[in-house]
Amino acid sequence: MNIKRCLTLTRAGIIESLQFRLGALVVVAGNLLYLVVIYHLWQAIFASVGTETVNGMTFTDTLIYLVLATALFNFMEMYVVWEMGHAIQTGEITIQLLKPMKYRSYMFWSYSGTAVTQFFFTFLPTFIIVAIVTNGAIPLGLNLLFFVISVMLAISINYSIDFLTGTICLYTESTWGINIMKQVIVLLMSGATIPLAFFPEPLKTIVNYLPFQSIYNAPLSVLLDGNPEPAKLLTTLGIQLFWCVVMNIASRLFWKLSLKRITVNGG
Amino acid sequence: MKRKSLGFYFRIYRKILAQDLKSKMSYRADFIISTIGMIFTNIAGFVSFWILFQNFPSINGWGYYEMLFLYGFSLVSLTPVQCFFDNNWALRNQVYSGDFIKYCFRPINMFFYFQSEVFDIKGLGQFAFGLGTLIYSWNKLGLEFSPLMLLKMIVFLITASLIMIALQNAAAATCFWIQNSFFVLDLVTKFKDYARYPITIFSPVFRFIFTFVIPIAFIAYYPSLVVLRPDEVPILSWISPIVALVFFFLSYKLWMRGAMKYNGTGA
C-alpha cells in the first residue's frame, strides 16, 4: 500500500476538521462538565460505603478511568457507521468504491486526520486537566508508552467494529438504530459507563470474553497501573492484539461478502 | 400577520403529521430498528443502575427504587422533545444549505411549521419503557396513589418536558450564529443523562449552577420530588412550572430572533 497516498488523506482530514475549532472547545467544556458530575456522583457513592477502595478501585482511580474513557470516546468515535449509512442511502458509495483504494482503508485514512486533531485538541487537554486535578494520581512512567500502544490497538478494534456495523447498513438501509445499538453495547460492555471492576460476577466473566473490553478497559487499566507485572501487561496487550486481528479479518470478510448484494437507488 | 386560532394550527399539524408518517412508513425496517435501538439505550441505563446498586446499598440516602423513579420520570418527560421537536437536529443543515428559507415564506408561525414537519415515532418506545419503569418503582416504593397525585404527576411531567424542550431549542438556535451547532446540541443532550441523579450529591456551588445557570435539576429532580417525597418538597419544586414556562418562552424568542435575522445562503 502506498503510504504517501494515505498520509495525504490524513492531511486533508486535519485541514477539514480544523474548520471546527469552536467544536473542540465545546467538547472539552462538555468533558469538564462530565468530570464535575462524575466527581460528585462517585464521591457520594464512595461516601455511602465508607471504605477507601471498592473492588480494588479508589475514588480517584474511578474518576480518572471514567473521564478518560469519555475523552477516548471523543477521539476514537469516527462516525463511520453514520458516514457509511449516508453513503449507502444517497448512492455516494458508488463513487467511493471506484476510487483506486480499498474502501475500508479509504474510510480509515480519511478519518485519521480528524482523529489526530481530536487527539491534540480534546484528548490531550482533558488528560492534562485530569492529571492536574487529581494531583498526580496518574502514574507517569513507562506505562504511558504501553498506554499509547494499547490505544492504537483499541483504535484498530474500534474501527473494525464500526466498519462491521456499517456494513450491516447495506442490508437494513437504517442507520440511526443500528448505530445507537452498537454505541450502547460498546459503551456499556467496554466499561466506559461503569468500570468493569464493579460488574457483578457472571456478567464480569462474560464481558471479559468479549472484544469490547479491549477498547476502553484495556488501555485505561494499563494507564492506571504504575508498575505492572510483566505477565499481566502482556496478557492485556496480547488479548487486544488477538481481537485486533480477529475483528480485522471478520470485518474484511463480511464487507467482501456483502458488497455483492449492494443496491444503489436512482442514477 | 393576522393571528390564527389554535384550532387552525391543530388542523394544520394533523395534516403535516400525516404526510410525515406516510413517508416514514415506506421505511418500515428503519422504524422497527430505530425503536429497538431506542429501547436498547433505555435498557442500558437501567442495567447501569442495577450494576451500581449491586455494589452500593444507597447513594447519598437515595435507594435503588428511588433512583429508578427518577430515571423513569426523566424518560417520560423526555418523550415530547424526542417526538415533537426532533427536527431541531436538522436545523443546522437546513440553515447551512439554505433550505431554511422556505419556512420564511409561509403564512404560518415559522417555529410551529418547522417543528411540525417531523414526528419521531421511536420516542414512543422510550415513553413505554419510561412509563413501565415509573409504575414499577412507584409500586415498589409504595407511594400513595390518588387522582390528585396523578394530576400533580402530569403537571410536573409537563414542567420537566418544557425545560428540556427549552434547552434543546436554545441549543439548536445557536446555529443561526455559529453555523455548526452539532456540538452544542450534543452537549445539551448529555444533560438529560445527568438529570437522572439527585441534585443533593453536588456541592453547594454546583447545586446553584445546575439549578439557576444550567437548569438540569429541573428536568427530573425538582418536579419529581412532589410525588416522590411529598413531605419535604422544596419551594423550588412548586415554582418549577413557572420556571419552565419562562424558559420555554425565552428559548422560543431566541429561536425566532435567529430565524428572523436569517438571510439565506447562495442562490
What ranges do the domains of chain A cover? Answer: 3-259
Q: What is the pLDDT of residue A242?
A: 93
Establish if B202 touches chain A: CB-CB under 8 angstroms.
Answer: yes
A30 vs B190: CB contact, 8 Å cut-off? yes
Establish if A33 touches chain B: CB-CB under 8 angstroms.
Answer: yes
Classify residue A126 by its DSSP letter: H
Beta bridge partners of B59: B62
Q: What is the pLDDT of residue A241?
A: 93
Establish if A145 touches chain B: CB-CB under 8 angstroms.
Answer: no
Specify the residue for cell string 449507502. Answer: A88
Please list the rounded mean pLDDT of every run of 10 residues in chain B (267 residues): 73 83 77 84 87 82 86 88 84 80 80 83 85 89 82 88 89 80 80 82 86 82 82 80 88 87 66
A194 vs B48: CB contact, 8 Å cut-off? yes
Interval B75-96: pLDDT, tens: 898 888 888 888 888 888 888 7
Distances from the Cα of A208 to the Cαs of A199, A201, A239, in angstroms? 11, 11, 10
Classify residue A195 by its DSSP letter: -
Report residues of chain A scoring pLDDT below 50.
Answer: 267
Q: What is the pLDDT of residue B186?
A: 81
Establish if B177 touches chain A: CB-CB under 8 angstroms.
Answer: no
Interval B155-166: pLDDT, tens: 888 888 898 889
What ranges do the domains of chain B cover? Answer: 6-261
Q: What is the pLDDT of residue A24?
A: 72
Which is nearest to B197 in space by CA: B65, B44, B70? Answer: B70
Q: Which of A27, A172, A198 sits opposite B55 (nearest CB)?
A: A198
Chain B positions touching A37 (Cβ under 8 A) are 194, 197
Establish if A172 touches chain B: CB-CB under 8 angstroms.
Answer: yes
Q: What is the pLDDT of residue A247?
A: 92
- Rounded Cα gap, residues A171 and A88, in angstroms: 10
Cβ proximity of A143 and A220 under 8 Å: no
Structure ipTM = 0.77
Which is nearest to A35 in space by CA: A57, A66, A60? Answer: A66
Interval B27-40: pLDDT, tens: 777 778 888 888 88
Cβ proximity of A198 and B52 under 8 Å: yes
Specify the residue for cell string 477498547. Answer: A215
Establish if A3 touches chain B: CB-CB under 8 angstroms.
Answer: no
Beta bridge partners of A53: A58
Q: What is the pLDDT of residue B3?
A: 66
Distance from CA of B4 to the nearest CA of A (A): 37
Q: What is the pLDDT of residue A244?
A: 92
Question: Strand A53-54 vs strand A57-58: parallel, antiparallel, or unpaired?
Answer: antiparallel
Cβ proximity of A64 and A138 under 8 Å: yes
